[in-house]
Structure formats: C-alpha cells, structure tokens
Structure 1
Amino acid sequence: MKKQLIAVGSALTLLALTACGSGDYAATQIPPKPAAPTSTAPPPAGPTCTNNGTDELRSFAPTGALPPPEQMPAGSTMDRIYRNGRLRAGISADSLNLGSRNPITGAIEGFDIDMVRAVAQAIFGDPNRVELVVISSPQRIPVLQNKTLDIVARNMTINCARWQQIAFSAEYYRSGQRTLVQRDSPAKSLGDLSGKTVCAPAGSTSLDNLNKYKDRGVKAITADTDTGCLVLFQQGKADGITGDDTVLAGEAAQDPYARIIPNERISDEPYGLGMPIGNRDFVRFVNGVLEQMKADGRWKASYDKWLAPTLGPAPAPPKPLYGRR
C-alpha cells in the first residue's frame, strides 16, 4: 500500500505540473479541444497510398544543402517562421522522456523536444527560439490544418489517412505497442494476462489492438490519458498498461515496481513530425535537418539520453523514404 500511495502521488504530481503553458515565451493560448467527430472512421487513404510499410512513409525529399541559419530563402515558409521570431511547436508535457516538464527547472524536455529544437537551430542558429505549446492528442491535426502552429512533435504515427489532412516528415523513430506489468508479474506476453485488467487510452489504436485480446480473457479498461492509465495501474485497478514503447518507458521510469515485457511488439508505430499540408518547402527543410541529426550523432545522443535507460541500446535511425509528389 505504501508503494502504491507514493507512486500515485508521483503520477498526480506530473499531471499537475503539465497543466500549465510551456516554452521560452509567454504561454500561448491553446486551441479548444475539437468536438468529437460524428464518425470514428478515418478518411479514405486514397488510391496512391496504402499502409503497407512503404507508401505511407514516403515524404518530400530535401532539395540540396540546408541554407545557413538566419539566411532562409525569401518567401519560403522558413523565412516566414524566421520573421515571426520563433518556431511554434505543438508538444506533449506529460509524456516522460518524450515531452514533459522538468519539476526542478520547469523546462519541457525530451526526445520529441530535441527534434523541434534542432529545427529551430537550423532556422535561427538558436535551439531556444521555439515556442512550445502543450496540446492534446486530438488537437494534433486541427492545429496544423488551421495553421495555429508550424510543427507538431507529439509521438504521432504516420499513416495514409493522416496524410490526407497534414504533411509528415520522414520517419524519425520507429515505436511499437508493448505492455507494462508489475515487476514480479510472470507474464511474457499480453496474452498471458488472461483474467487480468489492462488499460489503454480511450480512442487510441492501442485500445483497438488490446480489444483483439478479449477472446483470450484479457479485460480492457480505459482512461482519458496515458498518465491516467498509470494512476489506475498504481492504484491496483489495472494489472497492466499497453501502449507505445516510448510512452511506457516514461511510465516505467516513474514506477520502480513496473517493467515492460521484453521481446513482444504488438504493432509498429512510425513517428513523423507533422506540418501543414501546404508547406512542402518546410517539410523538405525539416527532412534535411533530420538527415543531419542522424548523420552527425545528435539523433543517437538524444535517444541515449531519454530512451536508452528503459528501452535499451539505440537502434539504427530509421532510413528516410522519399518520392512523394
């Protein structure tokens, strides 16, 4: 019981800390949460894109070397961002190691944050010229469609349906759905949790995949957020949590009595940086930044700092796929 009370307190503290605005600028007004859609079916992927592990990952190729910082091509999206004085980025503040507020310094930090700071560095010559705007998962696409923000770095999976609404960078990380359990649990797979309750965030693809295990006796429960699932887990109301391995890594770091089941990957989740669909020049620019990060060691350094302690040694960075027109 003592362990549960301590752990729940840490999760609730994280929730409280992440309720505020973020970044190096004055807090930005966060767009209202979009109304629930009348249909949960995704828009059609279109005849030129299928989720076959290749089509959806094709982005717009960089065109030549990156311009020097502070010398963006006149009239380009990057020039407009430069003239605005900062890069406006949508991020999470409650996904430990991806994007979360440091309780000591107050800064929002993590693997996703490093990606947008690298883009700011390439535009301004200063990684701190970024306005970090805390958004929810449902807000990721609307804030790009209405161009409230320039870029979103919030563990967003690339797929064909989303390509109909926004543009993506090349893949910058390959996540996958896994399962977190109590450290003393004998489970070696999600299927081993027959008769147990497992939490996944409501409305997520993780929940869709979890529901496929109902015929094996796994009982699905939900929470509004990943942190909400962690609270249920620490209260003993859930025997496990399933979700992206990056998110689970942060949750395991908050709970010394939890572990991620090794050697089981329920799905592949390729992450991309989201941008407005009409800003192809910016997508090409960002892809050039990502190529540099992967080549000069910055990508690996970020992975080693934020994800390696829980997920293990860095894999090879995802190779970019281009050819989208």
Structure 2
Amino acid sequence: MLKKISLFGTAAAILCAASNSAYADKLQDVLDRGYLLAGSGSTNAPWHFKDENNDLVGFDIDMLRLIAKGLFDDPTKVEFVNQSGDARIPNLATDKVDVTCQFMTVTAGRAQQVEFTVPYYREGVGLMLMADGEYADYDDLKKAGSDITVSVLQNVYAEEMVHTALPDAQVDQYESVDLMYQALNSGRASATATDQSSLSWFIAQNPNRYKDAGYGWNPQTYSCAVKPGDQRWLNFVNSVLREAMTGVEFNTYSASYKKWFGAELTPPTIGFPVEFK
C-alpha cells in the first residue's frame, strides 16, 4: 500500500512538472524580469538606426518602446538586442529576445517558424521624383514610355519590379542607395524606385527637393514576431500594437508615423471599430 502511494505521488509530481512546462508564461517572465528583451537592427533608417547622439531610434524602435510601456508603464524599460536580419528567427527560438520588430516581412514560410503579430505597417515600392523635375507624377512617367530612365538598387528582380509599374522604362541598377539617388540628382534618371518607407523618410528630410510620384506597388506586410507556443504573450503584444493604431496609444503611434514618414494619420472613427469594417 505504501509503495502504491509513493508511485502515485511520483506520477503526480511528473504530471505537475509537465503541466508547468506546457503552460510557460512569457508575459509573467518578462514582468518578473523587469524589462523587455527587444530584437531589432541599427543600420536602416527610418526603421532602426543611430542618431547624431548615438541613440537607437526609428519606427521599429518606437513600436518596441510601446510594448515596454504597456508592460511597465515606462517605455525605457527595454534592452535592445542588435541583430542581423538572419538572426531574427533564431534569437526568438533560443529566447535571446522576447519579441522582434525589425521590418520583418510576413511570409507563409516564416509563419511556420514564428508567431506574427498584427501588422503595424504595409510596405511597397514607390517612385521618387525631383520636386522641380520634368515629370509631375506617375501618369507623366507612364506616358513618357521608353523616354524615361529609372534608377534602382541592384537586384536580380530589379528590372522586372520596375517594369511592373513602368513597362517601357529604361532601368539603371546601382550598387548602393547613394549612387541610386545621385543618378536622380544629376538627371541621369527621371525617377528612383525604392521602398515606400525609405522614399517617405528621404522626402521628409528634403521636403523641397523631392516628391512622391503617387503610385505604389508590390505590397508587403510588416509585423513583429514572437516565439510560437505562448498565446497569452502573443495576445498581449497584439493588444499593444492594435491599440497603438486604433485606440488609447494612437497619438503616440501617429506622432511616430509623422516623424519617420512625414504623413499625418487620420484618427480612428469613434463608434463602430474600424478593424471590423
């Protein structure tokens, strides 16, 4: 009889340990630690980069500070882990970071390895023009056909990408962003094709020199990511991001959006929730 009780107690202990393991609670772990471990980069304006004071800034950084604020009512309670693009998923898998916000494009393949949050930005390709240049907008560029040249960052898909929007344009590929912009400045290119976020940031820094042609294509969704298996933590991060875009932190989100992309956002309509329209 005593032996049976002992075995029962051992089995119960094993089940209890397994249960505790199965119900790991990242949210509580982060709260107990007292700060957020946040994965991001440091070299890509306007997403994550060092400013003139050597402080880490950018739209991704603002999103991570919002998560820290949601956790501790203090956006400074975050430790940033500088990581390369190919470390974003491994660092989540090995718990080196609690969350990654690093202009991460949502794909079906990646969704098998991480849990993506609700989107916080939609990327795409845009066309930048000289403010006082020959062409007023996208329609002018398209009408010009093969008379125009578009500068673009060198890539195996660059020519195909440009021709999706401007089928007859000449395409010049450059090894760096600086050379791509120099082609536009010198008149060797009629327009520059680049990420819409980079275009918006560059125009915001040079408002009287450049303009947006007003056409975007090749949409990509940017979301933060967390390690799979902890629904409570995913729900929490989703709540922070959703309310940043539609609720109590909208003023913070919209101020960040204007700072980095130069655009005013329309406040969410009061009444029926916009996300269900």
- Which amino acid letter does the alignment assign opposite residue 218 of structure 1? Q
Q: Report the secondary structure of 2:204's partner residue.
A: helix
- CA 1:292–1:197 in structure 2 vs 1: closer, same or farther (change >3 Å)? closer
- Which amino acid letter does the alignment assign opposite residue 216 of structure 2? R
Tell me whether 1:242 sits opposite 2:193 in the alignment: yes
Q: Report the secondary structure of 1:266's partner residue.
A: strand
Tell me whether 1:283 sits opposite 2:245 in the alignment: no
Tell me whether 1:125 sits opposite 2:73 in the alignment: yes
Answer 1 or 2: higher relative contact order, Cα 8 Å, separation at least 6: 1
Q: Report the secondary structure of 2:129's partner residue.
A: strand
Tell me the distance in 2 between the aligned counterparts of 1:83 and 1:201.
Answer: 47
**Alignment match, 2:162:** 210
- Which amino acid letter does the alignment assign opposite residue 200 of structure 1? L
**Alignment match, 1:154:** 102
- Which amino acid letter does the alignment assign opposite residue 140 of structure 1? R
- CA 1:305–1:294 in structure 2 vs 1: closer, same or farther (change >3 Å)? closer
Match of 2:202 among 239, 243, 251: 251
Gaps of 5+ in 2: 1-22
TM-score by length of 1: 0.61
Residues 201 and 229, structure 1, Cα contact 8 Å, conserved in 2: no
1:248-285: CA deviations, max 9, x gaps? 222223445222222x1213332211122333322111
Match of 2:213 among 252, 261, 266: 261
Tell me the distance in 1 between the aligned counterparts of 2:85 and 2:155.
Answer: 11
RMSD: 3.4
State the Cα distance separating 1:202 from its structure 2 match. 4.0
**Alignment match, 2:8:** none
Q: What percentage of residue pairs aligned between the two structures are identical?
A: 22
TM-score by length of 2: 0.71
Tell me whether 1:79 sits opposite 2:25 in the alignment: no
Residues 153 and 273, structure 1, Cα contact 8 Å, conserved in 2: yes
- Which amino acid letter does the alignment assign opposite residue 291 of structure 1? R
State the Cα distance separating 1:178 from its structure 2 match. 1.2
Tell me the distance in 2 between the aligned counterparts of 1:214 and 1:295.
Answer: 35
- Which amino acid letter does the alignment assign opposite residue 198 of structure 1? S
**Alignment match, 1:163:** 111
- Which amino acid letter does the alignment assign opposite residue 148 of structure 1? K
Tell me the distance in 2 between the aligned counterparts of 1:79 and 1:207.
Answer: 49
Gaps of 5+ in 1: 1-73
Match of 1:102 among 51, 66, 69: 51
**Alignment match, 1:200:** 153
**Alignment match, 2:14:** none
- CA 1:170–1:142 in structure 2 vs 1: closer, same or farther (change >3 Å)? same
**Alignment match, 1:111:** 59
Q: Report the secondary structure of 2:104's partner residue.
A: coil
Q: Which moved more, 1:205-214 or 1:240-249?
A: 205-214
1:277-315: CA deviations, max 9, x gaps? 333322111011123323445234333344368553214
Tell me the distance in 1 between the aligned counterparts of 2:249 and 2:178.
Answer: 31
Tell me the distance in 1 between the aligned counterparts of 2:38 and 2:130.
Answer: 35
- CA 1:140–1:241 in structure 2 vs 1: closer, same or farther (change >3 Å)? farther
Residues 180 and 261, structure 1, Cα contact 8 Å, conserved in 2: yes
**Alignment match, 1:176:** 124
Q: Which structure has the highest strand share of the two?
A: 2
- Which amino acid letter does the alignment assign opposite residue 282 of structure 1? W
- Which amino acid letter does the alignment assign opposite residue 235 of structure 2? R
Q: Report the secondary structure of 1:141's partner residue.
A: helix
Tell me whether 1:92 sits opposite 2:45 in the alignment: no
The aligned length equals 241
Report the structure number with the largest CA radius of gyration.
Answer: 2
Tell me whether 1:313 sits opposite 2:261 in the alignment: no
